[in-house]
Chain A
Amino acid sequence: MWTDEGEGKVLYVQTHGVSDPGRCATPFFLAASAAAMEVEVAIYFTMYGPTLLQKDVVDKIGPKGDQGMPLAHFIKQATDLGVKLYVCQPSLELNDLALEDLIDGVVMIGGAAFNDMAMRADAVVSF
């Protein structure tokens, strides 16, 4: 949920999951950049997106496969700057996941909360 403390609000939506590693990290890069601009930033993981946040996946997947940093590095970079991570409840079920399977700090929200965040954001960027 927004705190209205930033100079603006950007909401990113990640729909891609572990089957498409090349699409896993960009939302975190852009979110980190936005957070560095003193903007309030959140990423919402829906459809296959929640699969990227699994505790036992974040160290094993990366945008360039075995080369370069794992996804966990880019997630921490973003969250250290204040980026908030939200997950869609029905999408957890779609992927046979429970909130406990995901890294710490992820907040579960529903469709009404997501739409409220989207309507109050200055920009919504969907991947």
Chain B
Amino acid sequence: MPITESPAQVLDCKGLACPMPVIKTAQAIKTIEPGQVLELLATDPGVEPDMKAWTTRTGNELLAIDREGDVFHVFLRRNG
């Protein structure tokens, strides 16, 4: 599903290893409003399974993960 709405915030975690992308995402999502989108940029190869698990646990929504070279673009919607 293409992401048409622009993210409220872009979180650059390129070059950071586990667990930093998860920790920084958890902190950043609290700074946007419910319904808004956070875009995470990460090069950690574990980011896809981590973000699936994290969104399932926290109730936030994983909209899409696009890969561009070594960089994963993860789109997350903050829920209620």
Contact = CB atoms under 8 A, between A and B. Distances in A.
Interface residues of B, number: 12
Interface string A67-80: 00000000001000
B18 A37 contact: no
A36 B53 contact: no
B23 interface: yes
B19 A37 contact: no
A29 interface: yes
Contacts of A77: 23
Interface of B: 18-19, 22-23, 25-27, 50, 53-54, 57-58
**Closest CB pairs A-B (n = 3):** A36-B26, A33-B19, A37-B57
